[in-house]
């Protein structure tokens, strides 16, 4: 897996507050590719190791556009919710010494769950959710919405979705699908009735 540096937006990536990046490179990047977000890949001192910021990211789309084509909707997605497109372009121009018309590769990505990380579930695909749930719940004797909420630290709605995915995709293993659905309904009624 290749590393991608996020030196200018380290905190945004660590906290999953960024899902678009603009680069003057990565022209060969394909949707579906997995990359490892890191602090930096160049300029490492002797003995300095590459620092991972979070689990991998999956590329969703790429396209070339002028730097100045950034929209107001993309500023928050770039990790700068308080900037206007003009301010964002100025920041990049000052940092890289480039023209506003310079072509950039607009890269959209999602965060992928990996061992030892707690993802922001809104950015995970259903496949990642299922893989993460199976990893966390491996070896358990039973599965319920409550267990998923506690173990994965997700909302009631997301926990229900996770269990529905496990059931629908036949990943119940030794868990009884009908039993899980009954527990789900009981959990939902009990929680909503409070």
Residue closest to 61 by CA, chosen among 15, 14, 22: 22
For the cut 80, the answer to whether the pLDDT of residue 53 exceeds it is yes
Residues 99 and 11 in one domain: yes
- Rg value, the chain, Cα: 20
Percent helix, percent strand, percent coil in the chain, to nearest 5: 40, 15, 45
pLDDT band at 46 (very low <50, low <70, confident <90, very high): confident
In tens, the pLDDT along 91-116 reads: 999 999 999 999 999 999 998 865 44
Residues 32 and 100 in one domain: yes
Residues 83 and 48 in one domain: yes
Q: How far apart are CA 137 and CA 162, in angstroms?
A: 12
Domain that holds residue 130: 125-192
Number of domains in the chain: 2
Residue 172 forms part of a structural domain: yes
Q: Which of 111, 137, 159 is the last residue of a domain?
A: 111
Residue closest to 6 by CA, chosen among 25, 21, 26, 17: 21
Residue 118 forms part of a structural domain: no
Residues 137 and 97 in one domain: no
pTM: 0.60
pLDDT band at 179 (very low <50, low <70, confident <90, very high): low
Residues 136 and 101 in one domain: no
């Amino acid at each position: 897996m290749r590393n991608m540096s996020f030196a200018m937006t380290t905190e945004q990536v660590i906290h999953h507050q960024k899902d678009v990046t603009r680069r003057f490179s990565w022209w060969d990047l394909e949707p579906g590719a997995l990359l490892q977000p890191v602090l930096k890949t160049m300029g490492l001192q002797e003995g300095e190791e590459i620092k991972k910021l979070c689990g991998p990211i999956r590329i969703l789309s790429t396209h070339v556009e002028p730097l100045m084509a950034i929209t107001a909707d993309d500023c928050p997605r770039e990790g700068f919710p308080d900037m206007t497109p003009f301010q964002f372009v100025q920041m990049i121009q000052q940092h890289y010494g480039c023209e506003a018309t310079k072509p950039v590769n607009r890269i959209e990505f999602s965060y992928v769950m990996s061992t030892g990380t707690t993802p922001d579930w809104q950015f995970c695909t259903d496949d990642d959710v299922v893989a993460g749930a199976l990893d966390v719940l491996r070896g358990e004797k039973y599965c319920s919405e409550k267990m998923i909420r506690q173990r994965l630290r997700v909302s009631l709605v997301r926990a229900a979705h996770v269990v529905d995915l496990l059931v629908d995709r036949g990943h119940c293993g030794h868990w009884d699908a009908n039993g899980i659905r009954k527990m789900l309904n009981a959990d939902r009624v009990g929680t909503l009735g409070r």
